[in-house]
Amino acid sequence: MKSIAVYCGASLGAKPLYADAARALAQALVEHNISLVYGGGKVGLMGVIADEVLRLGGEATGVIPRALLEREVGHTGLTRQFVVKDMHERKAMMSELADGFIAMPGGMGTLEELFEMVTWWQLGIHAKPIGLHNTEGFWDGLVAFMRHQHTEGFVRAEYLEGMMVDADADALVRRLQAAAK
């Protein structure tokens, strides 16, 4: 596994522990010699994880739509930065560049990016592992809802079982690595 796309907030969230979790995930990526692919911004958790990956000597590739370049304050110190036409192109390029995906805490954009990759996985468009970095139980409600979807006959069991959920960044990265082999 050479790279992981990380979806996360363009804000820091309500608790400092979210930024701590982003730094821990950055450390896990660098320790496992995995480069970061992310949304290309310098603000929020996006900026925290990119800055920490770079500070630790890792590689960070940003993919940012032109319209968001100024709004999200595009990161200028990345290993690589791709400026794309729109969100569709961003998600497609991030998927192409990454060997797996992790969603950290974030807002609607994070959910949208996560669910597109999950849908592509279900449809067989990609077979890359997907994980939820479950900082402080952030994703517990979503996981419970997905179980409800399964109980109600809308999500097959293998899609629940294949989604990796872990609060420990290093453990989550190792699980994605094992699943990618």
Domain that holds residue 151: 3-180
Interval 91-149: pLDDT, tens? 999 999 999 999 999 999 999 999 999 999 999 999 999 999 999 999 999 999 999 99
Predicted confidence band of residue 162 (pLDDT cuts 50, 70, 90)? confident
How many domains are there within the chain?
1
Q: What is the CATH number of the domain that holds 66?
A: 3.40.50.450
Structure-block tokens of residue 114: 């996560």
Cβ count near 77 (within 10 Å): 11
Q: Quote the CA–CA distance of 32 and 35 in Å, as a whole number.
A: 9
Mean model confidence pLDDT for the chain: 95
Query: Tens digit of pLDDT for each residue in 66-77?
Result: 988 877 688 999
Do 98 and 69 form a contact (C-beta atoms < 8 A)?
no
Q: What is the pTM assigned to this prediction?
A: 0.95
pLDDT score recorded for residue 72: 62
